[in-house]
Amino acid sequence: MNLMDIYQELKDDITAIEQELYRSIDSNYALISETSSHLLKAGGKRIRPVFVLLGGKSGAYDIERLKHVAVALELIHMATLVHDDVIDNAETRRGKPTVKAKWDNRVAMYTGDFILAQALARVTHLANPRVHQILSKAMVDMCVGEIEQIQALYQWNQSLKTYFMRIKRKTALLIAVSCQLGGLVCDAPERVVHALYRYGYYVGMAFQITDDILDFTGSEQQLGKPAGSDLRQGNITLPVLASFKDPAIREKIISEFKSGTPDMPKIINLIKQSGGIAVAKTIAQRYLEKARQSLEDLQAVYSKKTLIKITDFIEQRTY
């Protein structure tokens, strides 16, 4: 199964959204046009717009409304990434220099703000106040999640629950909301909108767990950054927490960090040996199974088939 097949089905609408994205961040000011289109031009999966459109297929599909939601969600996602790269001091994203690397932190902060403001301008096209409530709540929760993530850095004793809460806020919520709003703006029945939210939440959890696994198993070329970057920066993810089940491995990893010069290749090997990656994969699969179950009583067969294909893609994804 290939993600391209899914995009093929939605091709015309995805192309229209892509154009709208560029239009949204266009500005009379050359510098802001350049900085805010920089990440857009670097590519990306546009998975949130895809989820919005598929959510819409469960109701009375209306691209005129869906495109505003899809553009807003992709812009919100982009704004968070531009800010995130400042916080994480990241040099590259999607294989290109980050905004903060190409320009500087100040330019990146305002670029993120500008992109977020354009996202908000987009949602003004939608009259339903629930859309605004859902979106702003998601953004508030994401901010809370990122602050909590700072507090959890290098906290070797944190629980799995802390981790799951964090990835819910940082990734799963926005994906859940993408599916939910697609259904909502196309007047899908409440029960279906709820099912879409559940689906998106579970898929989002699996998506982030897979991302966290890839940070250890991917090559520098695939990742666009060195393997083990999350942990090197103190972000303790599921493969690490799972490896801690073995107290000897836990001790070795912590003492590498206490030395002040952690040997990342060695740590990555320890995590692989411990079976921590395998445990994380199993948990991701469980979330994907729940995602599939959430769709069980969804009427619109068209989007159901495609949404299930996406769960298969996440299960196998290598990028």
CB atoms within 10 A of CB 31: 12
- The contact mask relative to Mg ion for 39-78 (x = CB under 5 A, - = no) is ----------------------------------------
**Residue span 201-240 as binding mask against Mg ion, x where in contact by CB under 5 A, dash where not:** ----------x-----------------------------
Distance CA 298, CA 37 (A): 37
Which helix (H) or strand (E) is 93 found in, with range?
strand 92-93
88 binds Mg ion, rule: CB under 5 A: yes
Q: Considering only 34-42, 81-89, 183-191, 251-259, which stretch makes contact with ligand 2DE by CB under 6 A?
A: 81-89
The torsion of the CA quartet 155, 158, 162, 164, rounded to 10 degrees, works out to 100
Using the Cα atoms of residue 13, residue 206, residue 223 and residue 77 in order, give the sign of their dihedral.
positive
Q: State which of positions 152-211 bind Mg ion (CB under 5 A).
A: 211
**Helical ranges in 154-300 per DSSP H:** 160-167, 173-185, 190-217, 220-223, 229-232, 238-243, 247-258, 264-274, 276-294
Pair of tokens at residue 154: 């290098």
13 counts as binding Mg ion under rule CB under 5 A: no
Binding mask 41-80 for ligand 2DE (x = CB under 6 A): -----------------------------------x--xx
Characterize 106-115 residue by residue with b for buried, 16 or more Cβ atoms within 10 angstroms of its Cβ, and e for exposed. Answer: ebbbbbbebb
According to the binding rule CB under 5 A, does residue 9 interact with Mg ion?
no
Residue sitting closest to ligand 2DE (CB): 80
Q: Residue 235 and residue 297: Cα distance in Å, rounded?
A: 38
Please, what is the minimum distance in Å from the beta carbon of residue 230 to Mg ion?
6
Which positions from 115 to 154 touch ligand 2DE by CB under 6 A, shown as an x/- string?
-x----------------------x--xx--x--------
Q: Is 84 in the site for Mg ion (CB under 5 A)?
A: yes
Q: Report what 143 binds from Mg ion, ligand 2DE, none; CB cut-off 5-8 Å by kind.
A: ligand 2DE
Q: Residues in the site for Mg ion, rule: CB under 5 A?
A: 84, 88, 211
